[in-house]
């Protein structure tokens, strides 16, 4: 099933307890700091129906039309279709939005892959995973991700401090579990559901824990409070001076769980700490692709902006400028190559889905993100100091100042003051503004912190290749190859974790 933009808007007008800037928000669909993103999310739904875009945004499966982003991937073509749909969205909205559903829904497919392992620990929840995979297809919800708790003092176990620093179960009832705690979740205030699971944290060595719980949280549930950081939209005067700030701010929220009932049918795993570790290890097996694809589009924004500026000012012909532009292109094409190769060398998952090649995708994520700050700095340099000293639009319009602005910002017949102002305002918002800094931090942390991204590389790179090459070259004995752990993408990983889990369950 596919929803429309208005279906989506109605679904979040459920009187949820949302706060921003210390005030209760009555309706996120009309509040000026949420509306721009709600409208973009609604447009994505409407693109599924728009004759111009419906083909790229939807897929027909078993006679039913579903969103491409929600469809489980079985073939390489499915990945090309997902990549095309994401590109279509970002081109249509004219910017980069990440947490709009397709980037997070893949976490559910990792869970699907883990069904056998989870079954071995505790079979009672396996059918819930399948039900929810189906529900995403049939219900077309806006699905987000909840991992990160406030955590408190990391040197202490959660039970040795305020126990709510990490989300945990406080009670079981016939209807379900009651949970308390808090999670940081981008977009939760205007989404429908969140796959909620434990963070990477010191939540103890016990085999069973009230903190090891994963579930689908209906974001309209009673007892949830959404305490949002201040939005950017409307904070910097005329929107024309900050075109990205005013359209693309994805509002982050600390979601408070004040004794929230999670019905049993929404519980995906519970109490087994090894199950929680397994979920964490494979979480981004699919969703990293959509995340990295966003960085590719961000690279295009930076290249386009820097090149337009170099062209405007006649600097493009300078070899030193071309060299800097090439550095941006090399980085951009490195991301493109990782994404493309991860489809070309895609791997079959334990549950029979098609995973992007894990090693190429996880190394691609690090290549994209580790280089992002340096690349932003090159783009900033290529745009020159004028991006931070140029007056705002009001100065270009005031009759007293306009002649001067026109004089100094018109370069030639092609580049008149108005376009130069627009480009500089765009560049400032892309590279220098509060929004730009936030966006950089989002890329750094939103999917997982850098050490966890490196961890995913470590678990997925095929170390055997270099080891065997050296073993043979140095004529080492077979003994040196003992005790090597399998990779995440390896079907052996199920056995590896399965054995550990079975032991834990015993």
Ligand X SMILES: Cc1cc2nc3c(=O)[nH]c(=O)nc-3n(C[C@H](O)[C@H](O)[C@H](O)COP(=O)(O)OP(=O)(O)OC[C@H]3O[C@@H](n4cnc5c(N)ncnc54)[C@H](O)[C@@H]3O)c2cc1C
Q: Which residues are near ligand X by CB under 6 A?
A: 99, 145-148, 151, 183-186, 252, 441-442, 445-446, 448-449, 451
d(CA 107, CA 283): 5
Q: How far is the CB of 200 from ligand X (least distance, A)?
A: 6
Tokens 């108005």 -> residue: 418
Q: How far is the CB of 339 from ligand X (least distance, A)?
A: 22
Closest CA to 184 of 252, 262, 102: 252
d(CA 85, CA 102): 10
Q: Which residues contact 216 (CB under 8 A, 6 or more apart)?
A: 132, 193, 194, 195, 196, 266, 268
Q: How far is the CB of 377 from ligand X (least distance, A)?
A: 20
Q: How far is the CB of 155 from ligand X (least distance, A)?
A: 11
Q: How far is the CB of 102 from ligand X (least distance, A)?
A: 14
d(CA 127, CA 267): 10
> Hey, what are 56's tokens?
């790229």
Q: Which residues contact 140 (CB under 8 A, 6 or more apart)?
A: 1, 2, 3, 45, 66, 67, 70
Question: Residue 79 or residue 289: which is nearer to ligand X going by CB?
Answer: 289
Question: Residue 48 or residue 145: which is nearer to ligand X going by CB?
Answer: 145
Contact present, 10 and 218 (Cβ < 8 Å): no
Backbone angles phi, psi at 363, to 5 degrees: -70, -35
Closest CA to 129 of 260, 266, 277: 266
Coil, helix or strand for 208? strand
Q: How far is the CB of 450 from ligand X (least distance, A)?
A: 6
Other beta carbons within 10 Å of 377: 11
CB crowding 55-66: b at 16 or more within 10 Å, else e? ebbbbeeeeeeb
Question: Residue 254 or residue 393: which is nearer to ligand X going by CB?
Answer: 254
Q: How far is the CB of 145 from ligand X (least distance, A)?
A: 5
Which residues are registered as beta bridge partners of 172?
A: 177
- Furthest-apart CA atoms within the chain: distance in Å: 84
Q: Which residue is nearest to ligand X (CB)?
A: 147
Q: How far is the CB of 232 from ligand X (least distance, A)?
A: 12
d(CA 351, CA 372): 34
Question: Residue 415 or residue 442: which is nearer to ligand X going by CB?
Answer: 442
Question: Residue 442 or residue 496: which is nearer to ligand X going by CB?
Answer: 442
Question: Residue 183 or residue 338: which is nearer to ligand X going by CB?
Answer: 183
> Hey, what are 396's tokens?
């270009």
Q: How far is the CB of 441 from ligand X (least distance, A)?
A: 5
Question: Residue 84 or residue 438: which is nearer to ligand X going by CB?
Answer: 438
Question: Residue 99 or residue 421: which is nearer to ligand X going by CB?
Answer: 99
Question: Residue 210 or residue 252: which is nearer to ligand X going by CB?
Answer: 252
What secondary structure does DSSP assign to 399-451, as a single string?
Answer: TTTHHHHHHHH--SSSS-HHHHHHHHHHHHHHHTSHHHHHHHHHHHHSS--HH
Q: How far is the CB of 15 from ligand X (least distance, A)?
A: 23
Question: Residue 79 or residue 184: which is nearer to ligand X going by CB?
Answer: 184
């Amino acid at each position: 099933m596919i929803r429309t933009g208005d279906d989506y808007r109605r679904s979040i007008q459920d009187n949820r307890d949302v706060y921003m800037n210390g005030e209760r928000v009555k309706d996120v669909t009309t509040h000026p700091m949420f509306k721009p993103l709600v409208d973009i999310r609604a447009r994505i739904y409407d693109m599924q129906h728009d004759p111009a875009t419906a083909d790229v945004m939807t897929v027909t499966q078993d006679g039913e039309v579903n969103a491409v982003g929600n469809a489980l991937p079985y073939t390489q073509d499915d990945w090309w279709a997902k990549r095309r749909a994401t590109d279509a969205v970002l081109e249509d909205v004219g910017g980069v939005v990440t947490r709009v559903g397709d980037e997070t829904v893949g976490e559910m497919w990792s869970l699907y892959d883990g069904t056998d392992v989870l079954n071995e620990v505790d079979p009672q929840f396996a059918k819930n995973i399948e039900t929810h995979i189906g529900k995403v297809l049939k219900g077309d919800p806006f699905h987000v991700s909840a991992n990160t708790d406030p955590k408190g003092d990391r040197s202490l176990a959660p039970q040795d401090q305020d126990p709510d620093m990490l989300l945990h179960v406080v009670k079981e009832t016939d209807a379900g579990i009651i949970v308390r705690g808090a999670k940081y979740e981008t977009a939760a205030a205007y989404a429908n559901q969140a796959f909620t699971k434990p963070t990477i944290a010191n939540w103890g060595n016990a085999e069973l824990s009230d903190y090891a719980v994963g579930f689908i949280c209906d974001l309209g549930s009673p007892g949830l409070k959404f305490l949002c950081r201040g939005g950017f939209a409307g904070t910097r005067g005329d929107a024309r001076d900050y075109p990205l700030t005013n359209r693309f701010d994805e509002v982050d929220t600390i979601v408070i769980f004040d004794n929230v009932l999670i019905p049993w049918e929404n519980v995906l795993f519970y109490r087994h700490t090894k199950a929680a570790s397994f979920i964490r290890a494979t979480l981004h097996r699919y969703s990293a692709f959509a995340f990295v694809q966003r960085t590719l589009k961000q690279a295009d924004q930076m290249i386009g902006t820097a090149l337009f500026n170099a062209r405007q000012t006649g600097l493009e012909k300078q070899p030193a400028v071309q060299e800097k532009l090439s550095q941006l292109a090399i980085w951009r094409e490195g991301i493109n190559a990782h994404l493309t190769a991860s489809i070309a060398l895609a791997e079959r998952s334990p549950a029979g889905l098609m995973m992007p090649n894990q090693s190429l995708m996880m190394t691609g994520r690090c290549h994209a993100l580790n280089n992002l700050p340096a690349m932003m700095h090159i783009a900033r340099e290529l745009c020159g100091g004028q991006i931070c000293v140029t007056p705002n639009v009001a100065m270009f319009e005031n009759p007293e100042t306009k002649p001067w602005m026109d004089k100094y910002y018109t370069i030639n017949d092609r580049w008149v003051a108005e376009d130069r102002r627009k480009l500089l305002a765009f560049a400032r918002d892309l590279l220098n503004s509060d929004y730009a800094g936030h966006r950089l931090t989002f890329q750094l942390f939103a999917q997982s912190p850098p050490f966890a991204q490196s961890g995913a590389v470590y678990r997925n790179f095929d170390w055997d290749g270099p080891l065997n090459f050296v073993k043979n070259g140095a004529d080492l004995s077979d003994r040196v190859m003992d005790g090597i752990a399998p990779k995440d993408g390896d079907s052996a990983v199920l056995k590896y974790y399965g054995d550990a889990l079975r032991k834990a369950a015993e």
